[in-house]
Structure 1
Amino acid sequence: MKVSVIGLGYVGLANALLLSQNEEVIAYDIITKKIEKLKKGQSPIADPEIEDFLNKDDLNIEFTTSFEKTVEYGDYIIIATPTDYDEKKNYFDTSTVEDVISKAIKINPNSTFIIKSTVPVKFTEEMKQKFHTENIIFSPEFLREGKALKDNLYPSRIIIGEQSARGKEVADMFLRNTVKKDAPVLLTNDTEAEAIKLFSNTYLALRIAYFNELDTYAESRGLSTKQIIEGVGLDPRIGTHYNNPSFGYGGYCLPKDTKQLRANYDKVPNNIINAIVESNTTRKDFITEQIINKNPKVVGVYRLTMKANSDNFRYSSIQSVMKRLRADGVDVIIYEPTIKDDYFKKNKVVNNLEKFKESSDIIIANRFDQELSDVNEKVYTRDLFGKD
């Protein structure tokens, strides 16, 4: 099968490499430097499987900055462009997806679009009507930053938003490129597929919020959060997974997807969905208060990334805590090896670890690392289990 991939972030690059094992793939991105790195076999993002795959000789993939060439090539065109949440509009900004369809359909009107970008409920149907075509399919993506390709090679499920022979063909295409050949496959309506994505991520945010509020209670009452979580998790219906407290849920997906789902609940009765969104603000406020109560003059922020082994810190919860600390007049310095000194103009970046430790009255870390063990008495973290 000939496949074109547009947008080479976590989702697009992982899908392009996955499919290039057995399909013929052309992958496009607007950023020239990214394409240049990929052509040299260098990954633009931190992901072990992606780094390994780029050094394979048997993949059938070409990286390009030519949009027209990419669109002309594919029987299927995968769209994986950003859909950031617009706080003013209270909705996803889907302009990049719409722009791709608008331009591509004029170049290759017979191709079928597979949208991997996260979109609002009913978006696919609206695009079909807007562009007078049935050749648009939504297929939600379920991956973790830093493990994007691995989660495609070993998918929890494959969901295609079309109940048809074509939908099965698309599902089979993804399945034959996975390592996990028994992954569940579900063909649904396109609108239901969109809802599956948003409800899945909102449930994950709910679970994070639940254990964070448990931790808030325990810390406020002088109790052992770890003991309580371990006891709660022994119930097999709850389990011991995805239960490690944090400074709040963050990253690229959960904050925006929960807000989008709340927006989709307009005129629909709800309590939980809104509470999930609001709970994250409450958690960050509580964390900030706990830090300020220690009366630090200088707070050192150890890493901005949300997860271990990741280089992505978009919408990380610790940045919200930093903003609150600055508003309270606290000086903030950052240790983050993946950024340049001038990245955060309002904060000082100190990427000499020893100097960072010496300069900080308190070091806050969303996830603890052993390189902080010699200044453990300075560290404030809610990481109890050493996992994401």
Structure 2
Amino acid sequence: MKIAVAGTGYVGLSVALLLSQHHEVHALDIVPEKVELLNSGKSPIVDTEITRFLDRNTSGERPLNFQATLDPAQAYTDADYAVIATPTNYDEKRNYFDTSSVEAAVSAVRTHAPNAWIVIKSTIPVGYTQQLRDNLNDDRIIFSPEFLREGEALYDNLHPSRIVVGAPVDDEASVGAAKTFASMLAQGADPKEASRRNDDGTTGIPELVVGTTEAEAIKLFANTYLALRVAYFNELDTYAESRGLNTRDIIDGVCLDPRIGGGYNNPSFGYGGYCLPKDTKQLLANYSTVPQNLIEAIVEANRTRKDFVADEILDRVSGISNPTVGIYRLTMKSGSDNFRQSAIQGVMKRLKAKGINVIVYEPTLNKPDFFSSPVTHDLGAFKAQSDVIVANRWNNDLADVSYKIYTRDLFRRD
């Protein structure tokens, strides 16, 4: 089959490479530099498995039928499936995802491929796919949520926890297209996944075809639960710190309960990144006419955590005349180049609002300043200038100035 993929971020590029093992894939982007990098075998994003795939393709070890392009006609003409993985940032004023990039991509697909099945992989509001189908009178649009970790996107596609595709359950053709797309994703996964044993006793990758609106809800509720986990263990840490208790001992004891487990339990400055902040807010907006307490509390807990962390740092510098606080990395996770909605930015803004001098060490940011604070790539100078260094996640580069470090990274992992 010929498959077009609109967008070469974490979602689009990982899906494109996965499918290109068995299908002809054309990945469309609007940034010439990204297209040039991809066609020369280099990844424009930080993801170990994506880099490995592209290296193997360039060397001929694992040939892929993959090409990046700037030309919509080349990408979409005669496509059997068109996967849309364009960004949908959350609009705080409208309390709604900005879906304009999705709508533009759908329009472009239909210009060149009127009969292609369109699979939306961008994160969208609950009910959006059906609304789009109705508004456009287009019954060849389905939805497939992604469940990927930042920096591990292709790995998570190769080893999926589950594959979910949404299609109207009373539309036989759409359900058939959804099942076909699910099987294509499963086909591209690591062959070992076909024989894995699941907790419910089944074998292989769980494939779930549900209604489009149910599939959208699955994505938002899954990410909001993960945000809840982060917020819960952060509030546990806030309590322990405030009472002089050993946070790690408490977490270790709590998480030995197999019903709780050890995932998403490492304290941080708050949840952030591509998905959790916007997905929790969108889900909360979807609750506008539905009774709730918990979803709103998750969003508020993240703000409260940043307030607490900022206050802790202010206490650290309270005895220093004209102190300088260093922000070590704006990124959410180690090995990442993404700092969209990172929690440390919220902490930084709170410190600056109190008149604290802030300097930023961020080697991936090629700008002289960030929110009017100087940015440096010189780690030695950064350490020397900082009275306190704030790090959401520990790095061994900081070992020689450990006495300056403020972090809540107790397990030294993401």
> TM class, shorter-chain normalised?
over 0.9
Is 1:198 the counterpart of 2:249? The answer is no
Query: 1:291 is matched with which residue?
Result: 313
CA RMSD of aligned residues (A): 1.0
> After superposition, what is the alpha-carbon deviation per residue over 1:223-245, rounded to whole angstroms, capped at 9, x for unaligned?
11001101101111001221000
User: What amino acid is the match of 1:225?
Assistant: T
Q: Does the 8 Å contact 1:26/1:64 carry over to 2?
A: yes
Q: Which of 73, 82, 98 matches 2:87?
A: 82
Query: 1:43 is matched with which residue?
Result: 43
State the distance in 1 between where 2:302 and 2:234 align: 9
What percentage of residue pairs aligned between the two structures are identical? 57
Is 1:359 the counterpart of 2:381? The answer is no
Q: Which of 300, 314, 317 matches 2:340?
A: 314
User: What amino acid is the match of 2:256?
Assistant: L
Is 1:178 the counterpart of 2:200? The answer is no
Query: 2:15 is matched with which residue?
Result: 15
> After superposition, what is the alpha-carbon deviation per residue over 1:3-44, rounded to whole angstroms, capped at 9, x for unaligned?
000011110000000000011101100111110111111111
Q: Does the 8 Å contact 2:2/2:81 carry over to 1?
A: yes
Q: Secondary structure at the match of 2:102?
A: helix
User: What amino acid is the match of 1:126?
Assistant: Q
State the distance in 1 between where 2:135 and 2:261 align: 45
State the distance in 1 between where 2:122 and 2:312 align: 37
> After superposition, what is the alpha-carbon deviation per residue over 1:36-62, rounded to whole angstroms, capped at 9, x for unaligned?
111111111000111111121310011
Query: 2:407 is matched with which residue?
Result: 381
Q: Secondary structure at the match of 2:188?
A: coil
Query: 2:197 is matched with which residue?
Result: none
State the distance in 2 between where 1:345 and 1:236 align: 43
Stretches of structure 2 lacking an aligned partner (at least 5 in a row): 170-174, 195-203
Q: Which runs of 4+ in 1 moved over 4 A?
A: none
Deviation of 1:166 after TM superposition, in Å, equals: 2.0
State the distance in 2 between where 1:323 and 1:27 align: 37
Query: What pairs up with 1:73-222 in 2 under 5 angstroms?
Result: 73-162=78-167, 163=169, 164-179=175-190, 180-181=193-194, 182-222=204-244
Q: Secondary structure at the match of 1:301?
A: strand
Query: 1:66 is matched with which residue?
Result: 71
Q: Secondary structure at the match of 1:252?
A: coil
**Between Structure 1 and Structure 2, how many residues are aligned?**
388
State the distance in 2 between where 1:27 and 1:104 align: 13
Q: Does the 8 Å contact 1:246/1:366 carry over to 2?
A: yes
Q: Does the 8 Å contact 2:3/2:25 carry over to 1?
A: yes
State the distance in 2 between where 1:65 and 1:350 align: 34
Q: Does the 8 Å contact 1:287/1:321 carry over to 2?
A: yes
State the distance in 1 between where 2:26 and 2:149 align: 24
Deviation of 1:308 after TM superposition, in Å, equals: 1.1
> After superposition, what is the alpha-carbon deviation per residue over 1:299-342, rounded to whole angstroms, capped at 9, x for unaligned?
01111110111111111000111111111000111111111242
> After superposition, what is the alpha-carbon deviation per residue over 1:181-235, rounded to whole angstroms, capped at 9, x for unaligned?
3211111001000000000000000000000000000101111100110110111
State the distance in 2 between where 1:343 and 1:197 align: 35
TM-score, length-normalised on structure 1? Answer: 0.98
Q: Does the 8 Å contact 1:4/1:73 carry over to 2?
A: no
Q: Does the 8 Å contact 1:92/1:119 carry over to 2?
A: yes
> After superposition, what is the alpha-carbon deviation per residue over 1:255-285, rounded to whole angstroms, capped at 9, x for unaligned?
0000000000111000000000111000000
State the distance in 2 between where 1:341 and 1:188 align: 45
State the distance in 1 between where 2:24 and 2:45 align: 23
State the distance in 2 between where 1:165 and 1:338 align: 44
User: What amino acid is the match of 1:131?
Assistant: L
Query: 1:243 is matched with which residue?
Result: 265
State the distance in 2 between where 1:151 and 1:166 align: 23
Query: 2:4 is matched with which residue?
Result: 4
User: What amino acid is the match of 2:105?
Assistant: V
TM-score, length-normalised on structure 2? Answer: 0.92
Q: Secondary structure at the match of 2:216?
A: helix
Stretches of structure 1 lacking an aligned partner (at least 5 in a row): none
